[in-house]
């Protein structure tokens, strides 16, 4: 005789698979979300190639100190700052599209287990962001190194594989963090209105002002970007590359915890 425990697992597994397929259909059916991923790739690789080319031309004019601090790998990721803008938009749209259209009520009626609903949405978007992020990071590296010419490094050089893989992880985490914030705020305009200034204004100010620099080093973007750096000369952060990525992961987990708490307590 079949026990209740043995029938519940397949049923739950089947339901999870259905919800995952549903979330995948939602993402690919909205053109704006797909376009933002394409923009992230083009901007990250294109700007990185441009900056790498300009850096190669100006390298001979650099001071001795600047040459010591020059990081060919990180230079090829110069477009990551703009590329993350598109990924932030992607993360916000994945979540807030349903709120802005009112479809969230239908979705939660179809999937009353709100934890499963959030898990499925985050999982599908994270997998997509991971695939795009990794491809973009490797493409940006190889394109940037080609533009750097004699000043380039190889993928097998010490620290480089970690930096390139870390670039893909960084792009993935920035997307998931944005999804967590968007779930808490539910409004695309409000979410973008907070995330954009936070990453492109507040973080930059805190990181460059001596009095607040130590605080800025623990913000998710500044901490996470450490994993993409190979040359550590002039880097006064009190943690290493993987520890920096770990700090970013903590920010992401906090955003997801907040998203789950809000989703459970608020009505659609």
Tell me how far apart the terminal alpha carbons of the chain are, to the nearest angstrom: 41
Q: The tokens 């790498």 sit on which residue?
A: 52
- Mean pLDDT, residues 181-190: 90
- Mean pLDDT, residues 50-74: 93
- Mean pLDDT, residues 153-175: 97
More confident: 177 or 101: 177
Residue 175 confidence class, pLDDT cut points 50, 70, 90: very high
Neighbours of 7 (CB within 10 A): 10
13 inside domain: no
153: left (phi over 0), alpha (psi -120 to 50) or beta: beta
* Strand ranges (E), the chain: none
pLDDT value at residue 267: 62
Residue 9 confidence class, pLDDT cut points 50, 70, 90: very low
14: which 2 tokens?
């089947």
47 inside domain: yes
Residue 171 confidence class, pLDDT cut points 50, 70, 90: very high
- Mean pLDDT, residues 183-209: 90
Question: Which range marks the domain in which residue 49 is found?
Answer: 18-265
More confident: 10 or 99: 99
Whether the pLDDT of residue 6 is over 50: the answer is no
17, 184, 206, 234 alpha-carbon torsion, rounded to 10°: -10
Percentage of the chain modeled with pLDDT above 70: 95
Percentage of the chain modeled with pLDDT above 90: 60
143 inside domain: yes
71 inside domain: yes
Residue 12 confidence class, pLDDT cut points 50, 70, 90: low
66 inside domain: yes
**237 vs 259: CA distance, rounded Å:** 30
pLDDT value at residue 16: 83
**228 vs 90: CA distance, rounded Å:** 22
- Mean pLDDT, residues 117-125: 90
The structural domain count of the chain equals 1
Reported as a single tens digit per residue, the pLDDT across 215-262 is 899 999 999 999 999 998 777 788 999 999 999 999 999 999 999 999
2 inside domain: no
- pTM (predicted TM-score): 0.89
94: which 2 tokens?
């994945």
22 inside domain: yes
Mean pLDDT of the chain: 88
Residue 57 confidence class, pLDDT cut points 50, 70, 90: very high
pLDDT value at residue 260: 92
């Amino acid at each position: 005789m079949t026990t209740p425990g043995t029938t519940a697992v397949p049923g739950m597994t089947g339901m999870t698979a259905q919800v995952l397929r549903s979330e995948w259909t939602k993402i690919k059916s909205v053109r704006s979300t797909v376009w933002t991923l394409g923009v992230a790739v083009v901007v990250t690789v294109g700007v990185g190639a441009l900056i790498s080319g300009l850096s190669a031309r100006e390298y001979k004019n650099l001071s001795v100190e600047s040459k010591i601090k020059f990081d060919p790998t990180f230079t090829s990721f110069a477009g990551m700052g703009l590329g993350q803008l598109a990924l932030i938009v992607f993360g916000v749209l994945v979540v807030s599209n349903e709120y802005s259209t009112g479809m969230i009520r239908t979705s939660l009626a179809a999937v009353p287990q709100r934890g499963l609903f959030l898990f499925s949405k985050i999982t599908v978007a994270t997998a997509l962001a991971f695939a795009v992020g990794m491809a973009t990071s490797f493409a940006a590296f190889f394109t940037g190194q080609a533009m750097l010419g004699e000043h380039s490094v190889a993928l097998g050089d010490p620290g480089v594989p970690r930096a390139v893989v870390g670039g893909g992880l960084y792009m993935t985490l920035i997307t998931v963090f944005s999804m967590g914030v968007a779930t808490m705020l539910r409004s695309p305009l409000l979410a973008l209105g907070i995330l954009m200034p936070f990453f492109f204004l507040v973080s930059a100010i805190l990181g460059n002002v001596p009095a607040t620099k130590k605080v800025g080093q623990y913000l998710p973007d500044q901490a996470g970007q450490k994993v993409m750096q190979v040359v550590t000369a002039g880097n006064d952060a009190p943690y290493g590359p993987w520890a920096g990525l770990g700090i970013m992961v903590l920010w992401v987990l906090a955003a997801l915890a907040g998203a789950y708490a809000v989703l459970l307590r608020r009505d659609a």
